[in-house]
Homo-oligomer: A and B are copies of this chain.
Amino acid sequence: MTEDKVGAFVPGPRASVAGAATGPLAGLRFAIKDLYDLAGWPTTYGNPDWARTHPMPGSTAPIVTMLLEAGASVVGKTKTVELAYGLTGENVWHGTPTNPKAPDRFPGGSSCGSAAAVASGQVDFALGSDTGGSVRIPASYCGIFGIRPSWGAISLAGACALGPSFDTPGWFAPSAALLRRVGEVLLPPGNSAALGPLLRPGKPWANAEATTAEALAPALARIEALLGPALAIGLAPEGLETFYEAFRCASAAEVWAALGPWVAEHKPSFGPGVGERFAAARDMPAQKAAEGRAFRQVAQARLHALLAGGAVLAFPTSPGPAPLLSADQATQNSVRARTMGVTAFAGLAGLCEVSLPLGMADGAPVGLSLVAGPGRDLALLALAERFAS
């Protein structure tokens, strides 16, 4: 066991479960975000009070079992933002993981430890989870491949909930080929029809910092060589703010429904920002949540119709590279809002999204996202592999 120089793993004894001797992932080592149950190992959900008030898991989450049966071995549980409710990757209790590709910047979260473990080469791949960007954002920030699969494609049994109608698992890998191999174990067959055309949504590109948009333009051009010219499309005439707002309001109500009772009962200690977000979730007016859900229907119908024939969206995963560790809370909140206007596409509509590490901006990684309609995960992973190779 090498030393965990980037602080990817939850402190304490390192979880370890050997995988099957044979299988499509035989010999691979993986880590799991510490919100998946692993029998005999505590699930901290990133917060000491959560760990203290929950029993030791007696069973293992099915998604982990699938990977073990495919031959991969668990070599640790990784840090998560407390209750997965944050995008920077900060965790004051376990220590914020170092971003291996940009040590002066946040790693991104909430699946911060899994991203850091993969980006530092300590594991072959790692499980995360994604509600509002928690796999896509750390993949972009840490310069690795990551996928948020179609909502509902893979069971989240044995995983802690955040906003159930938005929650998905997800995983990170250093290559598109390995990202796909894991997907072939976890994903149902889905729709394998050819993907295309490529769509370039205007606002997510305009929303990105200039250095990021420039850094990713050559990658887009290379994908055009595979799929034909990108067609400009205006997916968000209401503004990305409307998408963010709908996501924020609709998900907040779910978050409070899922976790509010525990928060209210145990009054846990939270690090900076997390408690404030739970307070905002608690105080979300029912009317705003309902408006968010209503807009979600609009966005869902629109995106499903546009992607029904195989079209693929391409845009910067995050508006820029990870914020600096020195960024103040106001800056972090501003980045969060600008980021989630774009991550909201897949979140609101249950789409599958792969982030590919295809650019460097201001010396730090930025990812290009490819997004396809629900159920096209394996086709999207195949496209990512074809493109990245």
Q: Given A232-B232, A233-B234, A234-B231, check contact A196 B310 (CB 8 Å).
A: no
B305 close to A310 (CB less than 8 A):
yes
**Residue of B with least CB distance to A229:** B237
B197 close to A306 (CB less than 8 A):
yes
For A311, list chain B residues within 8 Å (CB).
305-306
Q: Given A229-B237, A232-B234, A234-B232, check contact A197 B302 (CB 8 Å).
A: yes
The CA of A233 and the CA of B231, in the complex, are separated in Å by 7
**Residue of B with least CB distance to A224:** B237
The CA of A301 and the CA of B230, in the complex, are separated in Å by 14
Q: Given A197-B306, A305-B197, check contact A232 B233 (CB 8 Å).
A: yes
- Interface positions, chain A 119-169, Cβ under 8 Å from B, are none
- Interface positions, chain A 268-307, Cβ under 8 Å from B, are 298, 301-302, 304-307
The CA of A311 and the CA of B307, in the complex, are separated in Å by 10
**At the interface, is chain A mostly helix, strand, loop or mixed?**
loop
- Interface positions, chain A 205-246, Cβ under 8 Å from B, are 228-235, 237-238
In the assembly, how many copies of this chain are there? Answer: 2
By size class, the interface of chain A is: 20 to 34
Interface flag for A17 (CB, 8 Å): no
Interface flag for A309 (CB, 8 Å): yes
Interface flag for A21 (CB, 8 Å): no
A366 CB to closest chain B CB, in angstroms?
Answer: 24
Cross-chain contact of A308 among B230, B237, B309 (Cβ < 8 A): B309
Q: Given A197-B301, A309-B304, check contact A237 B231 (CB 8 Å).
A: yes
Cross-chain contact of A306 among B228, B234, B302, B306 (Cβ < 8 A): B306
The CA of A227 and the CA of B182, in the complex, are separated in Å by 40
A372 CB to closest chain B CB, in angstroms?
Answer: 11
The CA of A238 and the CA of B232, in the complex, are separated in Å by 12
A209 CB to closest chain B CB, in angstroms?
Answer: 23
**Residue of B with least CB distance to A202:** B232
Cross-chain contact of A309 among B196, B231, B306 (Cβ < 8 A): B306
The CA of A238 and the CA of B238, in the complex, are separated in Å by 28
Cross-chain contact of A298 among B228, B237, B301, B310 (Cβ < 8 A): B228
The 5 closest A-B pairs by CB, nearest first: A308-B309, A305-B309, A232-B234, A229-B237, A308-B308
Q: Which residues of A contact B (CB under 8 A)?
A: 196-197, 202, 228-235, 237-238, 298, 301-302, 304-311
Question: 26 A-B pairs, CB-CB below 8 angstroms?
Answer: A196-B302, A196-B305, A197-B301, A197-B302, A197-B305, A197-B306, A228-B298, A228-B302, A229-B237, A229-B238, A231-B234, A231-B235, A231-B237, A231-B306, A232-B232, A232-B234, A232-B237, A233-B233, A233-B234, A305-B309, A306-B306, A306-B309, A306-B311, A307-B309, A308-B308, A308-B309
